[in-house]
Structure formats: C-alpha cells, structure tokens
Amino acid sequence: MKFIRFINTGIIDLNDTERRQIHLLILLSSINFITTFLYMIFYIKLGFNGAFFINFIAEFSYLLIPIHFMKKKYYFAKVHVLITFFINILILSGLFFMKESNLHYYLIAIPIYYFLLFGFKSSFLKILYLLVPCFFFTYLELFIYRPFLLPLSSMEIRVFSSTSIFGLSSLIFLMLWFSGNLIMKEQQRLEQTIKKLQSALAEVKTLKGLLPICSKCKNIRDDGYWKRLEEYIEENSDANFSHGLCPDCAEELYGNQPWFDKEKIH
C-alpha cells in the first residue's frame, strides 16, 4: 500500500483509468525485469552465452524505463516495455530455441498487455500490436525450425516448455488479477463518492422560480396565501431563523433611550 501511495504522488493529476494503466505498467516492467534476470542466471549456468547476452540487453533496456517516468512520458514508457518484451522473446524463440520449447508462446500475451496498458482506443499502434505478435507466433508455430545455436536435449525441451507455459499463464493471470483488483477499488471509491454526493444532495433544498413578495412587509404569496418570509423559507428549505436587531433598526427603535449604546450593537 505504501508503494502504491508513493506511485500515486507522481501521477496525482491523472484520472483513475490512466493511474491504473501506470500501476499495471510498473507491475509488468518489474515482473519482466525479475524474470529476465532469473533467465540470465539459468542461461549462464547452462552455458547459453548468446541467450544470456540477449537477456542482458533486454535487462538494460528495462532499466531505462524509469527515465520516461521522471519525464512523465508515460506513453513512451508503455511502448518501451512492450517493444523490449517483444524483441527479446522474438530473438530468443526465433534464433536460439526450437519450437518445442514453447518460448514463442509469450508473443500471444502482447495483445493482452497492450489492451491493459493502452485501453481500447483505436489507433495504428493497436493494429500493430495485434497483428505483428500474432503473425510471428503463427509463423514460429507452423514452421519447424532447428536453430544452430542451441540444440536442446529432450529433457531441456521439457523444462523450457513447462517453464514457458507456466510463466506465460502466471504472468497473464497476475496482470488480469491486478487489473481487476484496481478496477474494483476504483468502483468502490466511485460508489463512496456517489453516496456522499447523494447524502449531501438530500440535505440541500434549493429555492427556485419567481417569488411574489410584498414590497413593504416582505411577505411572500404562496398558492394565493401570504406568508411571512421566515415561514416560507423554513417550509421550503432546511434553514431556521433566529431573530435579532441590526444596528440601524435598533437605533430607530431605542435610539432615544438613555441606556442605548450603538457601539455595543453588532
């Protein structure tokens, strides 16, 4: 909660939808950074230096995302994290690992991430993020390829396949759960605001329209009957009157009395 409050201080001028997208962006960037780091350790232990180097570049790219935050360029931060994720997965799955490792399955998550980060606004970027990952996923899925760099054993294929599918499903579930949780909190906040406004509105009565009022005694005509001003206002609002004398009226009534002191009248 403190972390969320810390983030909100920098995006206080954004609406609820934009703040939710920024929270999801931070979550996705953090998960990608951690996952990439873990894969780097995994690759270096297996001696996959090429894959390690690609993940190292991706890791460095993720470290540049906070620069967009400091400049409040949230749109570029979203594009940055998605492009880094896409290129990293495409190079690894297309050049280093065979299809059976299922690493290219991560590509089908990109359209989901796009909608969570950008919403459903129609744009060229939306089409790009929908078609390009789907095209490369279809290509890598339909065509059998045997890369020269990392020929995997059957056991390594099973390990990579299981971790890829588990990692993809976990990542999508976490993003959707976190997004739903944020939406629920926004709805609760909105409902509380509506209740407060309804409660305030119930306590407010507004006098409107043309009121016939006597120019001398200030009585008001209501449905043919003349009523005192105080009576009419009390009947048509929640206001109550307490009576007193203004300085001018007090002087007019008691100005000739020896005990009268105008300076004490407020």
Residues of the chain with pLDDT > 70, as a percent, come to: 84
For residue 10, pLDDT over 60 is answered with: no
Q: What is residue 3's predicted lDDT score, i.e. its pLDDT?
A: 47
Region 82-94 average pLDDT: 90
In this predicted structure, the answer to whether residue 9 has a pLDDT above a threshold of 60 is no
Q: 6 falls in which pLDDT band (50, 70, 90)?
A: very low
Cα R_g (the chain), whole angstroms = 35
Q: What is the mean pLDDT of residues 128-143?
A: 85
Q: Is residue 84 over pLDDT 50?
A: yes
Does pLDDT of 62 surpass 60?
A: yes
pLDDT at residue 151 is higher than 90: no
CB 232 within 8 A of CB 212: no
pLDDT at 205 over 80: no
Q: Has this prediction a pTM greater than 0.85?
A: no
Q: How confident is the model at residue 235 (pLDDT cuts 50, 70, 90)?
A: confident
pLDDT, one tens digit per residue, over 103-124 is: 888 898 888 888 888 876 667 7
- Kindly report the average pLDDT of the chain as a whole number: 80
Q: How many CA atoms lie less than 13 Å away from 208 in the CB half-sphere?
A: 3
Q: Where are the beta strands (DSSP E) in the chain?
A: 220-222, 225-227
The helix/strand/coil state of 226 is: strand
The answer on pLDDT for 172 being more than 70 is: yes
Chain centroid offset of residue 239 CA: 41
Across residues 226-236, what is the average pLDDT? 80
CA distances from 145 to 49, 101, 127, 140, 148 (A): 20, 11, 27, 8, 9
pLDDT tens for residues 183-193?
A: 788 788 888 88
Average pLDDT over residues 137-145: 79
